[in-house]
Amino acid sequence: MIRRSRVAGSFYPHNPDILKNEIEKFFEKKPEIKKYDGKIGVLCPHAGYIFSGKTKSYSYRALAENFPETFIIIGPNHTGMGSPLALMRDGEWETPLGNVKIDSQLAEDILKECDILDFDETSHLYEHSIEVQLPFLQYLSMNIKFVPICMAMQDIETAGELGESIKKVIKNRSIGIIASSDLMHYGYTYGYMPFRENILENMKKMDMEVLNAIVDLDPERIYDIVKTGYTMCGYGCVSTMIFALKDYVKKGEILHYSTSYEVSHDISTVVGYGSVVLR
């Protein structure tokens, strides 16, 4: 199966030359790829490139410096379609830059290890959170493979079970895990307005609490924050990454933070974006 590009022309340019040029501007200079035999994880936003591309580039620069053999991309399910915890185990994903192959062996191994994970293509058909990561990976190297996992079910038990299963499967593999998530979604549109003054300052304070919890490899703290109503779309994806990598990585580091306000200048609706690396 070839999973067709769904958000080219909206979240990022459809024209391959324009797409490459836009990604290049975010990096300023294309990073040198350095092969890596270990494990690495990044938090990476999935909003439209015009809003989150700069922050996204910091995560991919970190991956370029420690470039693994294959990738697992874990994204939230925004569409509500398909299985609540879904993996695609074979085929290719299309982007304007070409097709990216699924690592079928790795996918099959994860599927066998995790009883709550389903093989389901429907969940992935229209979901953007995984697709938008692929052109950045392709910009770094066209010789990549990946496994897509889509999470509608993001409770801590699910994240823990999936993360522990991934941890076992990747023990002897060179792996990069990309947790696809934006941070706070503030405004009436999102039904979340915990403060009405000093919005950007207060928003950054709360977002930084989450980013520091990721750096500290502390998923329980992430869930404590989410329980207050904090609107982060991929908290389970990030927590799964932490559970999977906690025995393999030494430290986390916040690389960049931004908000949609820097582009839109609309204070009534703001989304936060963070880049974190675990290595």
What tens digit of pLDDT does each residue of 42-63 get? Answer: 999 999 999 999 999 999 999 9
d(CA 198, CA 233) in angstroms, rounded, equals: 23
Asked whether residue 70 carries a pLDDT value surpassing 90, the answer given is yes
User: Is residue 258 pLDDT above 90, yes or no?
Assistant: yes
Q: What is the pLDDT of residue 191?
A: 96
d(CA 18, CA 53): 14
Does 187 score more than 90 pLDDT? yes
pLDDT tens digits, 141-157? 999 999 999 999 999 99
As a whole number, mean pLDDT of residues 176-196 equals 98
Torsion of CA 137, 138, 139, 142, to 10 degrees: 130
Q: What average pLDDT does range 187-200 have in this prediction?
A: 97
In the predicted structure, residue 28 carries a pLDDT above the cut 90: no
- At the top level of CATH, the class of 2-278 is alpha beta
pTM for this model (two decimals): 0.98
Indicate the domain borders of the chain.
Answer: 2-278
What per-residue confidence (pLDDT) applies to 116? 98
Give dist(CA 51, CA 89) in Å, integer. Answer: 31
Calculate mean pLDDT across residues 9-35: 96
At which residue do the structure tokens 């522990």 appear?
164
Mean pLDDT of the chain: 98
Mark 110-136 as b/e (b = at least 16 C-beta within 10 Å). Answer: bbebbeebbebbebbeebbbbbbbbbb
**pLDDT higher than threshold 90 for residue 271:** yes
What is the token pair recorded at 34? 């350095």
When pLDDT is averaged across residues 248-252 and rounded to a whole number, the result is 94
Note the pLDDT of residue 267: 97
What is the mean pLDDT of the segment spanning 112-139?
Answer: 98
Please give the span between the terminal C-alpha atoms of the chain, in angstroms, as a whole number.
33
pLDDT at 163 over 90: yes
How far, in Å, CA of 43 to CA of 142, rounded? 21
Q: By the 8 A CB rule, do 32 and 26 touch? A: no
Asked if residue 84 has pLDDT above 90, the reply is yes
Q: List residues bridging with 275 in a β-sheet.
A: 256
